[in-house]
DNA sequence: TTAAAAACCTACTAATTTGGTAGAGTATTA
DNA sequence: TAATACTCTACCAAATTAGTAGGTTTTTAA
């Protein structure tokens, strides 16, 4: 399960990507419109800035703004920044690999083959979806 | 990420499924062979028993044993028991659905469509893999 | 019939993560 | 120069995770 932090981050970025202009958007505006705690969102957007996804401007007329095209930001890259590993086990993670302390040998681990399969099928989606895809409103009818 | 509880549970069940006989297996034997804390494993196997996957026998010659064929136990069902939801968000979970408190409307949520897609691709694998599949040793060469 | 074996049960615990809040500091602009 | 709005430091409570300790009950076999 994704944490609220990740969920809020994705929603906030989608909010910004949906706007036609790239003018700075207030934290407080996003927080209100998306029902997110403002203080919590501050932390999240700051992290996204420090990770190179957002720029910011202080003072009146300030706020956060996207510094890359939504089409160029994969959901996988965002989840990795906000959440961490996408794989179900650290020992099959591509970006956050960690050795299992209980496994003698990764080659013979009964779980790793399956978990690699799950990882790859998830990545196939998340690496190919971008922020731009999230801005397409999901028609329900 | 799966918790250690889930990981240990899956490994313990695989261990039992690999044996040709269905005689009771000691917690302590599994714990030792799989490098799992015995006390922690006690909790896990008890839960699997209460969920209908294992039987147990007390006293000398006792232990835990599978009460279903490995072919009939999907990995998805085990993860749901041990871990909980498989989906990335509660609002798109089939078995552990919960409404999002921050979403006005699920139909228009920017994330839900994508998260349903991820869920379905993961389930396609996990619903079709069984304990029997985990017993096939993964040839590395 | 009694001792050992082994699951079962209750109760704790420490460390980490999660999801926040409070308030002061700093840069910018009108 | 005052208001605005991001930034930083410092807390905090609750939940979760991954255990541990120790006793109870049931069963088997000598």
Which CA distances in Å does B3 have to A49, A125, B9? Answer: 30, 23, 10
Same-domain status, B83 and B130: yes
Which residue of A89, A122, A137 is in closest CB contact with B2?
A89
Q: Which residue is nearest to nucleotide C26 (CA to C1')?
A: A58
For chain A, list residues whose CB is within 8 angstroms of any CB belonging to chain B: 1-2, 7-8, 10-11, 14, 34-36, 75, 84-85, 87-90, 101-104, 107-114, 117-118, 121-122, 124-126, 129, 133-135, 137-138, 140
The label of the residue with tokens 């978990």 reads A115
pLDDT (0 to 100) of residue A39: 97
Q: Which residues of A touch B114 (CB under 8 A)?
A: 75, 125, 129, 133-134
Residue B129 domain-assigned?
A: yes
B125 — alpha (psi -120 to 50), left (phi > 0) or beta?
alpha
Same-domain status, A39 and A75: no
- DSSP code for A110: T
Same-domain status, B50 and B78: no
Same-domain status, B45 and B74: no
pLDDT, tens digit, for every residue of B8-67? 999 999 999 999 899 999 999 999 999 999 999 999 999 999 999 999 999 999 999 999
What does the pLDDT average to over B83-112? 90
SS3 A92: helix
Among A34, A40, A88, A136, most B C-beta atoms within 10 A, so best to mutate, is A88
Residue B141 domain-assigned?
A: no
pLDDT, tens digit, for every residue of A90-141? 999 999 999 888 887 777 788 999 999 999 999 999 999 999 999 986 544 4
Same-domain status, A87 and A99: yes
Span CA (A86) to C1' (C26), Å = 37
Q: Which of B50, B66, B82 is the last residue of a domain?
A: B66
Same-domain status, B125 and B74: yes
pLDDT (0 to 100) of residue A117: 97
pLDDT (0 to 100) of residue A141: 41
Per-residue pLDDT for B1 more than 70? yes
Bases of strand D lying below 7 A from some protein CB? 3-8, 16-22, 25-29
Residue B140 domain-assigned?
A: no
Where residue B13 sits, what CATH number does that domain have?
A: 1.10.10.10
Question: What is the Cα–Cα distance from B68 to B15, expressed in whole angstroms?
Answer: 14
What is the C-alpha radius of gyration for chain A, rounded to an integer number of angstroms? 18
Question: Is B118's CB within 8 Å of A125's CB?
Answer: yes
Residue A139 domain-assigned?
A: no
Q: Are A31 and A41 in contact (CB under 8 A)?
A: yes
What residues make up the domain containing B80? 70-134
Please state the domain count of chain A: 2
pLDDT, tens digit, for every residue of A37-78? 999 999 999 999 999 999 999 999 999 999 999 999 999 999
Same-domain status, B126 and B81: yes
Assign B141 a pLDDT band (cuts: 50, 70, 90).
Answer: very low
Per-residue pLDDT for B139 more than 60? no
């Amino acid at each position: 399960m994704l944490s609220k932090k990740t969920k809020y981050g994705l929603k906030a970025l989608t909010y910004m990507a949906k706007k036609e202009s790239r003018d700075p958007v207030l934290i407080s505006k996003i927080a209100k419109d998306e029902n997110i705690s403002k203080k919590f969102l501050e932390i999240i957007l700051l992290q996204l800035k420090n990770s190179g996804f957002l720029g910011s401007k202080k003072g009146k007329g300030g706020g956060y703004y996207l510094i890359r095209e939504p089409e160029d930001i994969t959901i996988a890259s965002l989840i990795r920044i906000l959440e961490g590993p996408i794989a179900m086990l650290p020992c099959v993670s591509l970006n956050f690999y960690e050795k299992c302390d209980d496994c003698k040998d990764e080659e013979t681990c009964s779980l790793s083959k399956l978990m690699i399969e799950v990882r790859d099928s998830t990545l196939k989606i998340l690496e190919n979806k971008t922020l731009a895809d999230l801005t397409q409103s999901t028609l329900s009818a």
